[in-house]
Copies of this chain bind each other. A is one copy, B any other.
Amino acid sequence: MTGVSDNSRKEKSYLLIEDKVGQIQDAFDSGIVNSVFVKNLVVGLHASEIAQIIQYIDYSYREALITLLKPFDPEVFLFLDEHLREELIAVLSSKEIAAIVEVMESDDALSILLDLDEEQQRKILAKLPKTVGNSLERKLRYPPESAGRLMQNEVLALPQSWTIKASLEYIANEGSLPSNFHDVFVVDEENRPVGVLSLSKLVKSVKKDLLQDVMTGSVRTIKAQLNQEEVAFLFRSYDLMSAPVVDADGKIVGMITIDDVVDIIERRAEEEIMHMGRITTSDFYIPVFRTSLIRIQWLIVAFVDAILSSVVIDQFQSTFEGRAALTVLMPIAAAMGGNSGIQSVTVTVRALATRELSSLNMWRFAVKELAVSMLNGSVFAVVIGLISFIWFHELLISVVLSSAVVFSMCWAGFAGTFLPIFIEKLGYDSALSSGPLLSMTTDILGFTSFLWLAQVLIL
């Protein structure tokens, strides 16, 4: 039931990092560490490798290491976990941060700025050259999680009347272009995108005349206000490498590239995984007390759930008298309902996230989920009926337990499908709350159905 994973995971670069972290920690331990030593160790490393060293090193050495590494490659910031980034920024002066922000592309610069509080943001914006500062302030005015905040302002937009030759010459000579780009956007006189072509197509078309002869006439633009999740969906739907971002008038104001979208996809996936595990946010780099607070939120829900289960059991106290089998078999129906419900919730939440589930196929999907849970419920009802009869030789108790298992698992299939859909319709995040809320219903109904049936049929 488990797949053997690939064992070639530990690549050379990983072992190299591990080795360097060991050397730096040893140097700290023996007190012989200094800036020259550390810098020699990291010379030639990629920014992401330096970021890995900072992430792996014992936290007691982290601040000292960061100080010794100064001034370092601004890129390092981008590869750090956001919690560590905050830690790192705290030991830099606003002048040092401004110097880092200044050399970055605007989307990366903004992501650094967003880690700071408003006062720090103001301080740093004041230290930046006016053009850089203004452009960042403009981006800050877009709503959080919007395309406007994700985009870079640097974009290559050429008038449709231009020739291909002139375009190539312009690219060769113009200094303000993005440092790296995949697509060329073609605009009308109002600066509105009317076409797109990849740079490779432009180079291949050097013998053709005008841009408008070779461009693709339909271009998928992204409104600056659009939510980033929606941006990722568009990129995936239309296999885009980059897309122009437009303002309310449809004028081009920047572009988003696929590598920014990869970040969004990864962040969303991480969020979904954490939510499935009943944690609001990944807390790997967060210290003990804050981690404890983060996790306690959903433990409170689980706790209320457990107390409610106890209250249910309490209602049926008289049922247990002289019936040890009931006490022993009591948790089974609730457990089977809970586990089968989590499966339905997982598939539903995921299908909602990928938009494979919509109002178009909702009923079809619900019928299928119900069929699956009836089928699996019946299988386990038969098995547990047999086992419990062999165990306690009480036919009625076996019938009660089997019925409770079927009922719990059918409920789990039904609620596991509609609960996430309902939560989503209300505008909330279904990944986070569906699981715990469902467990509450499967626990309460699992215990109630078993004990109530026992009371009615046996006593």
Binding site for B on A (CB under 8 A): 1-9, 11, 13-14, 18, 21-22, 46, 48-49, 52, 55-59, 79, 81, 145, 168, 171-172, 177-182, 198-201, 203-207, 226-227, 229-230, 234, 236-239, 241, 258-259, 261-262, 265-266, 269-270, 272-274, 276-280, 282-284, 287-289, 291-292, 295-299, 301-303, 305-307, 309-310, 313-314, 317, 320, 324, 327-332, 334-336, 339-340, 342-343, 345-347, 350-351, 355-361, 364-365, 368, 371-372, 375-376, 379-380, 383-384, 387, 423-424, 427-429, 432-433, 443
Contacts of A4 in B (CB 8 A): 427-428
CA distance A356 to B5 in the complex (A): 18
Q: Is the Cβ of B56 less than 8 Å from the Cβ of A358?
A: yes
CA distance A200 to B179 in the complex (A): 8
Q: Is the Cβ of B302 less than 8 Å from the Cβ of A335?
A: yes
* CB-nearest residue of chain B to A371: B288
Q: Is the Cβ of B277 less than 8 Å from the Cβ of A428?
A: no
CA distance A21 to B362 in the complex (A): 14
24 A-B residue pairings within 8 Å (CB atoms): A1-B297, A6-B229, A7-B427, A8-B227, A9-B227, A18-B360, A48-B237, A48-B239, A57-B360, A171-B204, A172-B203, A172-B205, A179-B200, A180-B200, A180-B201, A258-B258, A265-B269, A270-B350, A282-B350, A299-B376, A303-B383, A307-B387, A313-B331, A314-B324
Q: Is the Cβ of A280 less than 8 Å from the Cβ of B1?
A: yes
Contacts of A59 in B (CB 8 A): 364
Query: Given the known A-B contacts A292-B376, A331-B331, are A346 and B277 also in contact in the complex, defined by CB atoms under 8 Å?
Result: yes
Nearest 4 Cβ contacts at the A-B interface: A277-B346, A269-B269, A302-B339, A6-B227
* CB-nearest residue of chain B to A331: B309
The one of B1, B237, B269 in contact with A298, judged by C-beta atoms closer than 8 angstroms, is B1
**Chain B proximity of A394: nearest CB distance (Å):** 14
